[in-house]
Chain A
Amino acid sequence: SAVISQKPSRDICQRGTSLTIQCQVDSQVTMMFWYRQQPGQSLTLIATANQGSEATYESGFVIDKFPISRPNLTFSTLTVSNMSPEDSSIYLCSVADNEQYFGPGTRLTVT
């Protein structure tokens, strides 16, 4: 199993600003995943982040809006850029072997 931490746990941001969310894993992993969970909804995969290469984005998500860094095998960041109230969600990072393990999430509110 993997233990995943995220920072910040929550934030309230003004529209037009950007927030960078950090994800730290206690072991080296090849792939990390970033998800968004809008209020009352299920999880939607934003992108897959491999160390040493550009992230692969799912349909509907673009790098300019959600830039991702993956500088090493235990760390990744997701930036939510030029935020609007529609970006208010929980953002979760995840790693997987057979099972998928999730961080505690970052609850973002955009006012």
Chain B
Amino acid sequence: SQQGEEDPQALSIQEGENATMNCSYKTSINNLQWYRQNSGRGLVHLILIRSNEREKHSGRLRVTLDTSKKSSSLLITASRAADTASYFCATDARNYGQNFVFGPGTRLSVLP
């Protein structure tokens, strides 16, 4: 069954605006990871947040994790046209009997 569920499924914003994507999951996890995929190409690992962490930053990316709500968010600040891609969350629950499970993804379009 699908562990990660993302919303929104699609998001369209103007360059310079911030983009927020959310991910919910169902079971306990070891960590949660966010990936980017450009137009059907390979996945690029963006950021990993462990179950005992609440927030992580990497450049223009900010990820939060709320294990009590079983949810995570990815914020991209000052978006650029090059950020146009699909973004996926994936939960690692290997210590809880599950392999990596990917959410359905959010298709982000950043308009110039």
In the bound complex, how far is the Cα of B44 from the Cα of A94, in angstroms?
Answer: 12
Within the complex, which residue of A41, A96, A103 is in contact with B100, where a contact is CB–CB below 8 Å?
A: A96
- Interfacial chain B residues near A53, Cβ < 8 Å: none
Of all chain A residues, which has the CB nearest B40? A90
Within the complex, which residue of B40, B88, B100 is in contact with A33, where a contact is CB–CB below 8 Å?
A: B100
- Interfacial chain A residues near B104, Cβ < 8 Å: 41-42
Q: Which residues of A from 53 to 111 have beta carbons under 8 Å from B?
A: 58, 90, 92, 94, 96, 98-105, 107
DSSP majority for the A interface? strand
In the bound complex, how far is the Cα of B41 from the Cα of A92, in angstroms?
Answer: 10
Q: Is the beta-carbon distance between B33 and A100 smaller than 8 angstroms?
A: yes
DSSP majority for the B interface? strand
Number of interface residues of B (CB under 8 A): 19
Number of interface residues of A (CB under 8 A): 22
Cβ distance B63 to chain A, nearest Cβ, rounded Å: 14
Please encode chain B, from 77 to 112, with 1 for each CB lying within 8 Å of some chain A CB and 0 for all others.
000000000001010100000011111110000000
Contact sample, A vs B, 9 pairs, CB 8 Å cutoff? A33-B99, A43-B43, A43-B90, A45-B99, A98-B92, A99-B45, A100-B92, A103-B42, A104-B42
Q: What 14 additional pairs, Cβ within 8 angstroms, besides A102-B45, A105-B41? A: A33-B100, A35-B102, A42-B88, A42-B105, A43-B102, A48-B99, A58-B99, A92-B42, A92-B43, A96-B92, A100-B33, A100-B45, A100-B90, A105-B42
Interface residues, chain B, with chain A CB atoms under 8 Å away: 31, 33, 35, 40-43, 45, 48, 88, 90, 92, 99-105
